[in-house]
């Protein structure tokens, strides 16, 4: 499932988390993400990167499914006050060219490795990923262990997550995923026809990004999400999730003493506001936290931490907690 979409729907409609209203300073910061910066050729197509700050270790962020590097617009500038911090757009998202192949974890890692090399962004790296991006950075750490000196995994996708949560929910997770797949197909079809502002399709598929990202970046996000190529990329990422899980599963082993911090949501995206937590919801959240604890235990320096007040995209609701986690791991890198 596209975790970004699940998060948006559930946070807004179920969890009741507050909507981010950009301040003048935040809006100005967000505006930096509204224009392309460095587009590097990785073999006949270009991948977009944006870096700022200086430091011996470079922090590289990977986004949740279906989202560009602007997913980190509240966190990257704060981290860049302490070291070099880079966001990038996977193929077909943000300002990156589309690819003839889906953004499986292995393909995304190959692209990112080439882009960092082409851009002259040398290791060591501290990798940060949310959701699908969390799976991707784990694959990167396994494939290039000499380059990666730390990981911060924000509600990361893991190879057995879907099966385990589906079991915990009595099959409801896969039902939700099927609904999202159907929604993506609908939006892809509407994008091909051309979205009309104010239409039901526009409201269902695009919504109002400026409300969250601020006026300048929000318009850019909105424009991107109105294109057929965006929805093709998004659908391809979703359809390739099982393949990405298989790729991570094949690589899975302990991380040794790699500094590792796993952040877990404190707000269930499946909770109903004003209602007591159901046994099913509790089982889901308990299983999610258990998965993350097991992941943290793969490193002798691993930690798992619940972030109160945040659902699946913790960088949206509690960005300071993500920044603090990155700086904590950065401090462990020698």
Q: What is the mean pLDDT of residues 294-317?
A: 97
Name the pTM for this structure. Answer: 0.92
Q: Domain coordinates of the chain in residue numbers?
A: 3-330
Q: What is the mean pLDDT of residues 229-238?
A: 94
- CATH code for the structural domain at 3-330: 3.40.50.1820
Q: Is 194 helix (H, G, I), strand (E, B) or coil?
A: coil
List of residues 6+ apart from 138 with CB closer than 8 A: 105, 129, 151, 153, 156, 248, 251
Residues, the chain: 334
Work out the pLDDT band at 26, boundaries 50, 70, 90. Answer: low
pLDDT score recorded for residue 30: 85
CB 167 within 8 A of CB 99: no
Place of tokens 């197509």: 45
Q: What is the mean pLDDT of residues 75-95?
A: 98
User: d(Cα 197, Cα 200) in Å, to the nearest integer?
Assistant: 9
pLDDT score recorded for residue 20: 40
**Within a 10 A sphere around the Cβ of 23, how many other Cβ atoms?**
10
CB 127 within 8 A of CB 150: yes
Place of tokens 């989202």: 67
pLDDT score recorded for residue 42: 98
Q: What is the mean pLDDT of residues 62-69?
A: 96
**Within a 10 A sphere around the Cβ of 129, how many other Cβ atoms?**
28
Q: How far apart are the first and last CA of the chain?
A: 37
Q: Over the chain, what is the mean pLDDT?
A: 91
């Amino acid at each position: 499932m596209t975790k970004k979409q699940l998060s948006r729907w559930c946070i807004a409609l179920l969890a009741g988390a507050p909507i981010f209203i950009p301040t003048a300073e935040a809006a100005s910061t967000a505006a930096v993400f509204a224009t392309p910066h460095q587009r590097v050729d990785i073999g006949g197509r270009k991948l977009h990167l944006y870096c700022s700050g200086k430091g011996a270790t470079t922090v590289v962020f990977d986004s949740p499914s279906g989202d560009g590097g602007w997913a980190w617009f509240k966190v990257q500038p704060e981290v860049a006050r302490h070291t070099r911090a880079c966001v990038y757009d996977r193929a077909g998202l943000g300002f990156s060219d589309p690819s003839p192949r889906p953004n499986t974890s292995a393909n995304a890692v190959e692209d990112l490795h080439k882009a960092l090399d082409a851009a002259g962004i040398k290791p060591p790296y501290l990798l940060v990923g949310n959701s699908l991006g969390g799976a991707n950075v784990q694959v990167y750490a396994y494939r290039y262990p000499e380059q990666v000196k730390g990981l911060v995994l924000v509600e990361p996708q893991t190879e057995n997550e879907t099966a385990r949560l589906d079991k915990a929910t009595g099959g409801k997770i896969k039902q939700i995923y099927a609904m999202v797949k159907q929604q993506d197909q609908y939006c892809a079809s509407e994008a091909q026809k051309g979205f009309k502002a104010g239409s039901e399709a526009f409201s269902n598929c695009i919504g109002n990004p400026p409300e969250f990202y601020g006026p300048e970046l929000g318009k850019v996000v909105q424009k991107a999400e109105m294109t057929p190529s965006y929805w093709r990329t998004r659908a391809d990422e979703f359809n390739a999730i099982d393949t990405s899980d298989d790729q991570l599963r094949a690589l899975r082993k302990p991380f040794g003493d790699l500094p590792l911090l796993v952040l877990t949501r404190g707000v269930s995206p499946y909770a109903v506001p004003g209602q007591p937590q159901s046994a099913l919801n509790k089982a889901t959240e308990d299983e999610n936290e258990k998965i993350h604890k097991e992941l943290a235990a793969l490193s002798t320096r691993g930690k798992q931490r619940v972030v109160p007040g945040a659902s699946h995209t913790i960088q949206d609701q509690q960005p300071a907690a993500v920044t603090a986690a990155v700086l904590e791991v950065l401090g462990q890198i020698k």
